Structure 1
Amino acid sequence: MSSAKPRVGAIVEAASFPHVDGSTRQIGQSSDRWSVLFVYRGKHCPRCKRYLNKLNAALDQWTAKMDVIVVSADTQEKALADRAEFGWNFDLCYGMTEEQMRALGLYVSDPLSETETTTRFAEPGTFAMRPDGTLMLVDISNGPAARPDLEELLDGMIFNIDNDRPIRGTA
């Protein structure tokens, strides 16, 4: 199990996440499309819901260029409840393990109380991957208030994809 920050330019460690529809979604393997993984704290986080609602509102623009996967450590029941409440259309996954969190270099938190949640969870992270599984961009936060602006991120990702831009920050 790794706790090092992920290296841009390297292939993302393969991981599979259960999807609320009963199938699975995978990262770290070859695909015919770019992909972006959004890790959120879970059902207990109102900031996450606001952020994901903004993502869902612009989802067509995102999926025109890349696959979008959203995952938390929540149970399937919690993920399904959020999907039903907010009408999210993105690929919603659940059950992220602590080992998967640490492999991505995410910050991991213990709940403050049982009213928040009952298990450890990942703080937010965003990972954009080339079709071969190479990590192109990473943004990791230790709390819910710091996340990339979705409009700027989408604009930058479209530019990177359309212009086959090199990976930055490897030195």
Structure 2
Amino acid sequence: MIKPRTETPDITINLVDDTTWTLSEQNPSNFTLLVVYRGKHCPVCKKYLETLQEYIPDFENRGVNVVAISADLEERAKATYKEWDIKNVPLGYEFSIEEARAWGLYISKGIKEEPEEFIEPAIFIIRPDRTLYASCIQTMPFARPEIEALIKSIDFVLDKKYPARGEA
């Protein structure tokens, strides 16, 4: 588990637009929002990322860079990007199970139509210096923070200069 106010691991991930995304190269005014989703097989993830798509301008207006990543292989990730309404969400793939464990994420064994192994969802809000501000790590596809609530929380944090909590 990564504690708030401590440095997160660096991560470089391939994006579906054939570029790479590296956390240490991000230069947001306020935060990076790293959204880990289960993969193409997850209808809850589809709805979540499509909602995220609606709020991309709101995050940008608040100085928040957004990226969504999964363990899906390139072909599945590119199909996800094409089939879901997420054209403005930077979408990364092949986030390794080993890296996910370093971030304290939960891993599930696939059942039915799911991949053999995949990463359960999480949200990380990371300061420009790569220290963790906040996280929400799930063991299931549901019970994620609502996107609109995240926007309101970021407004509060920025307005009140509210410090990261949970570091003790």
Same fold (TM over 0.5): yes
TM-score for the superposition, normalised by structure 1: 0.90
Between 24-33 and 69-78, report the one with greater CA deviation. Answer: 24-33
Match of 2:99 in 1: 100
Mapping for residues 1-171 of structure 1, pairs under 5 Å: 5-28=1-24, 31-33=27-29, 34-65=31-62, 66-88=64-86, 89-113=88-112, 115-117=113-115, 119-171=116-168
Secondary structure of 1:128 counterpart = strand
Secondary structure of 1:58 counterpart = helix
Cα distance in 2, alignment partners of residues 47 and 62 from structure 1: 21
Q: In structure 2, do the counterparts of structure 1 residues 75 and 31 end up closer, same or farther at CA, with 3 Å as the change threshold?
A: same
TM-score for the superposition, normalised by structure 2: 0.92
**Residue 158 of structure 1: CA displacement?**
2.6
Cα distance in 1, alignment partners of residues 129 and 146 from structure 2: 25
Q: In structure 2, do the counterparts of structure 1 residues 163 and 28 end up closer, same or farther at CA, with 3 Å as the change threshold?
A: farther
The sequence identity of aligned pairs, in percent, is 35
**Residue 29 of structure 1: CA displacement?**
5.8
Query: How many corresponding residue pairs?
Result: 165
Gaps of 5+ in 1: none
- Asked if the contact 2:109–2:118 (Cα under 8 Å) also holds between the matched residues in 1, the reply is yes
Gaps of 5+ in 2: none
**Residue 132 of structure 1: CA displacement?**
0.6
**Residue 147 of structure 1: CA displacement?**
0.6
Q: In structure 2, do the counterparts of structure 1 residues 124 and 163 end up closer, same or farther at CA, with 3 Å as the change threshold?
A: same
